């Protein structure tokens, strides 16, 4: 007797979860677009030592992995990062050119609310953002009602991408030609 309602509930939950994921752009397509079809080989930066502590303080938790892949040509780097919004990861693409945020884009959104962060009215606020002397964004980013955690995830990923790019430039990592 309880089987049918329970199965119906499980099916409804699965459908809701599956419908909540929206792929706006595949990460590989983002990279191809960023580098005009000629994507450089990926490299990694390790999150350890002082970096690990900075990331933990920024996010309020450890980053999901100890190394982060990036793609770089000259002074331009691309990053595909993930951060939890409310419950699920949001995949974000970032392009940083000579220490300035050139582009931030939601690639995959898995939450049931907060998807408005993908629109230019929100992402345009990040154009040319840099880190200040305290490794924070140099500007305030207006929030979106009902999307507080998604907005926070975007701000954190913008800060993280700029921070990691600055770490590479400090190390004088030779960019690929």
- Cα(50)–Cα(109) distance, integer angstroms: 30
162 within a domain of the structure (yes/no): yes
Residue 4 in this model has a pLDDT that exceeds 80: no
Q: What is the pLDDT of residue 64?
A: 87
7 within a domain of the structure (yes/no): no
| Burial of residue 166 (number of CB atoms within 10 Å: 0-12, 13-18, 19+) | middle
* Mean pLDDT of the region 121-138: 96
Q: How many domains does the chain have?
A: 1
84 within a domain of the structure (yes/no): yes
- Cα(84)–Cα(153) distance, integer angstroms: 7
Residue 33 in this model has a pLDDT that exceeds 80: yes
6 within a domain of the structure (yes/no): no
Q: What tokens appear for 163 in the block?
A: 């921070």
Residue 107 in this model has a pLDDT that exceeds 90: yes
133 within a domain of the structure (yes/no): yes
Give me the domain span that covers residue 150: 22-170
What mean pLDDT value characterizes the chain? 89
Q: What is the pLDDT of residue 95?
A: 98
More confident residue, 36 or 177: 36
* Strands annotated E in 34-137: 43-46, 67-73, 76-84, 89-97, 100-109
165 within a domain of the structure (yes/no): yes
* Mean pLDDT of the region 81-93: 94
Q: What is the pLDDT of residue 25?
A: 96
Q: What is the pLDDT of residue 7?
A: 53
Q: What is the pLDDT of residue 100?
A: 98
Do 139 and 104 form a contact (C-beta atoms < 8 A)?
A: no
């Amino acid at each position: 007797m309880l089987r049918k309602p329970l199965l119906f509930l499980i099916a409804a939950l699965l459908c809701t979860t599956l419908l909540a994921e929206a792929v706006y752009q595949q990460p590989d397509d983002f990279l191809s677009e960023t580098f005009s079809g000629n994507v450089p080989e990926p490299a990694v930066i390790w999150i350890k030592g002082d970096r690990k502590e900075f990331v933990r303080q920024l996010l309020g938790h450890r980053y999901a992995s100890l190394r982060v892949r990036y793609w770089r040509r000259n002074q331009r780097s691309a990053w595909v990062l993930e951060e939890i919004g409310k419950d699920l990861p949001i995949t974000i693409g970032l392009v940083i050119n000579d220490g300035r945020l050139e582009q931030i884009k939601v690639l995959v959104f898995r939450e049931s609310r907060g998807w408005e962060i993908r629109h230019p009215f929100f992402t345009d606020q990040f154009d040319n953002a840099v880190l200040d002397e305290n490794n924070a964004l140099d500007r305030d980013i207006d929030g979106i009602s009902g999307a507080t955690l998604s907005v926070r995830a975007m701000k954190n990923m913008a800060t993280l991408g700029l921070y990691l790019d600055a770490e590479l430039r400090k190390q004088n990592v030779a960019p690929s030609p």
